[in-house]
Structure 1
Amino acid sequence: MDDNSQALVLLIKRQVLQMRQLRHFQWSLPSATSASVSQQSTGPGMNHEHASALSVTTPEMQQAILDQILHDPTLKRYPPSLTYQHSFAKKLISMIEIEGTHEISGELLELFTELLMTAPKRPEQGGPPLKPCFKSYCLDRACSKIVTVMEEQTTISSGTTGLRTWEASFWLAEYLIAHPEILAKKNVVDIGCGVGFLGIACAFLGAKKVVLTDGNTDVLAMARQNIGYNVVPCPTTASLLDWENFTQEQIVALKAEVLILSDLTYDPTNIVPLVNVLKAILVKGVSAYMSSAIRNPQTFVDFFARIEQECVGVEIEEISLKDAEHLFFFDEETVQTVKVFHLSFP
């Protein structure tokens, strides 16, 4: 298999592991990516039109998708929902049939039949309510570093939005991937960790120690489970941190050097308690990196006004994301503008 074909398999793998919606799925390499891979491997004389026209329907690609994705050890151990796997296999088979050039692999048909018998229908088709499932997020294009988390498939569950990964976490993760020196040999504290994707990613990106914190016990329980699903390369724990009822002893015990926060400014009632806990932790020598989707501009303005009032002298820098490599996938129709900030004392 040539480099372009392998790059396409890895692109598909990253999307499947993350359970990207099939209506947004990329089944071919972007032209620029194809040209880049081709030049790296074979020089400028490569036929880039051929590279960008790779088809997932060939026997070679069908087998690669089976071997490297559908039978991948990560997927087998921590599988995306069976319903999603069934939909993916059905879509791939449909593409092969519509193109009409190649036979459908017998192994692929066998797997599809098995999924057809075992996968529940979606709720809108009369199936049961959606259950939590595994999603795996690749921190590089080679899928050599993967964070696996169990998370809800719905926006709100058990009265909280903290049981799924939100888009702003992806943007901050991509910035940290591009700048691993921020985390290198540092004690990282995740404020409002949710299911733990971002904090666990920091462990893989060079942190010395990571503490995931949240004020919701259901969220913390899932975060602790998710730590266990990953072979983290540094001590990584999850601790209760109630923004309205914390002690100085708790703050000191965190030994924070870098704070990470993602999508915590959506609720106006969160502003005062969140700033109170930041005021306690964000002292000279500690840096905070936060990302937020701007859903309510006024709430965002009020948050920073409160920060400047309570954390006198703090510097707030909006971070450019132009050098970040986009590794994650989300529905661009629903995500709002995401901004990333660095907060620190000079």
Structure 2
Amino acid sequence: MADAAAQDADEQLLHLNLAFLAGEPPACVLALARKAGGGSITPYVQNFLLESCIGTNVEGHQNSTYTTVILKRIISEVELSLDVVTDELYEEFAQRMSLKAKDSLLNRTDHIYKDISFLSSTYNNISSKLISLVARLSCSSNMLEGDTGCSLWPSSLFLSEFILSYPKIFSTKCCFELGSGVGLVGICLNYVGASKVILTDGDTSTLTNMKENMELNNLCIEQEVPEVSKESKNKVECRYLSWEEASKCDLPGYQPDIVGFVGQSEFIRDFLLYLGADIIYDPVCVPHLVRVLSMLLTRDGGQGESNGKSGDKFETETPVAYIATVVRNPETFNCFAKAAADTKLSVVNITSSAAPSNLLPYMLSYDRSSVQLLKVTLFS
């Protein structure tokens, strides 16, 4: 019993640390701090925040304002509850307020760095790692300024959990994402062993930020020069793609590759898998999105051959698209469903049958129940 209680306490502190590094809203961080303290933010939890969260935080990793707000909220709550605020917490807050007054430039940044840590689905096994993957991302801190492409959305988190929960679907496959945003899905695809990852977006500032995020995670960016690309071992490409302007001639490099595997005498087709997170949001964009999906799924050679694997419920012999989306407006979603049907695309909701593991239990702001997972293929 004592061991179980100690393990639970360590888990709560881990969640608190990961929530802070992920830039979770202050209210969520405080909720986890209370839980770690058994209902209140104890001196022990305060010291943990200072030493393991704020103290180890790389300079510039978190927006200074974010950390200051966390400290202020903790002090206010502890004082109101008539509990003890540690001297170290007061000193840290005072130091940050003084620094803020001296250098207002620290608070002018429009972006904040977030570490999104995916827990292992078997992390309760002492032989496995607690954290399977950490993705460092530069994200927008102000979505109201038209910087939505650089924000982290629930659908992207859900699709990432799906990839990590079912790695065999994406391993050795050429994967292509529409509207890649900050690039989290691409990082997860690379982690599970996709043979090629192609990330696209139609906004140039988002594309620039996406490339920076790939570099933050030590992922090489594919060179645009064909001669260099042929010899490159890089697996990630970041490309500009506007749905409104895209035509078949814009997609010559997105066909499946024919690749060979060591130890096998025959060549096996590396099927394309298409992905999208939160891309069904505007009825004006829906016709362009469906048109691009149709072009991608009907590429010459897209019918492919059997990949020689059996027994997998996700096994496919043709290109397939997985789309994670939050249905904010039923009319917009119905518009997408109708346009897809008119274009001979099959859209199946697989949210229940393919529910991913909860790999982000510390992200209290992430509402997994609001996300639906769709599988899109050509009508046979």
> The TM-score by the shorter chain falls in which range?
0.7 to 0.9
From 159, 178, 186, the equivalent of 1:191 is 178
Aligned match of 2:55: 71
Q: Residue 248 of structure 1 corresponds to which residue in structure 2?
A: 248
SS at match of 1:139: strand
Q: Partner of 1:47 in structure 2? A: none
CA shift digits 1:289-329 (9 cap, x unpaired): 1111111111111112111221x263523322655315163
Between 178-187 and 266-275, the greater mean CA deviation after superposition:
178-187
| Counterpart amino acid of residue 9 in structure 2 | S
Q: Flag the 1:78–1:292 CA change in 2: closer, same or farther, 3 A.
A: farther
Matched, 1:308 2:341: yes
> Is contact 2:174–2:197 with CA below 8 Å preserved after alignment?
yes
- Residues 255-334 of structure 1 correspond to what in structure 2 (within 5 A)? 255=255, 257-283=272-298, 284=303, 285-310=318-343, 312=344, 314=346, 316-320=348-352, 322-325=355-358, 327=360, 329=363, 331=365
Tell whether the 8 Å contact from 1:57 to 1:95 is kept in structure 2 after alignment: no
TM-score scaled by length of structure 2: 0.72
Residues 153-192 of structure 1 mapped to structure 2, 5 A cutoff: 153-157=141-145, 159=146, 161-192=148-179
1:151-172: per-residue Cα shift (whole Å, max 9, x none)? Answer: 2122243x45312122221222
Do the aligned residues in 2 keep the contact of 1:131 with 1:153 (CA within 8 Å)? yes
Identity value in percent = 22
Q: Could you tell me which residue of structure 1 aligns to residue 312 of structure 2?
A: none
Cα deviation, 1:160-216, whole Å, max 9, x if unaligned, reads: 531212222122222222222222222221101112222223222332321210111
Return 5+ residue gaps in structure 2 as ranges: 121-129, 221-233, 257-271, 304-317
Task: Tell which structure's C-alpha radius of gyration is larger.
Answer: 2
The correspondence of residues 143-162 of structure 1 with structure 2, limited to 5 A, is 143-157=131-145, 159=146, 161-162=148-149
SS state at 2:341 partner = helix
Per the alignment, residue 211 of structure 2 pairs with 224
CA distance in 1, matches of 2:170, 2:95: 44
Count of aligned positions? 315
Q: Does 1:342 align with 2:375?
A: yes
Gaps of 5+ in 1: 31-50, 121-126
3-state DSSP class of the match of 2:284? Answer: helix
Matched, 1:116 2:73: no
Quick one: distance in 2 between partners of 1:162 and 1:15? Answer: 22
Is 1:16–2:20 an aligned residue pair?
yes
Q: Aligned residue for 1:34?
A: none
Q: Residues 276 and 289 of structure 1: is their aligned pair in 2 closer, same or farther, counting only changes over 3 Å? A: same
8 Å CA contact 2:64, 2:107 repeated in 1: no
**Is the contact made by 1:10 and 1:143 (CA closer than 8 Å) also made in structure 2?**
no
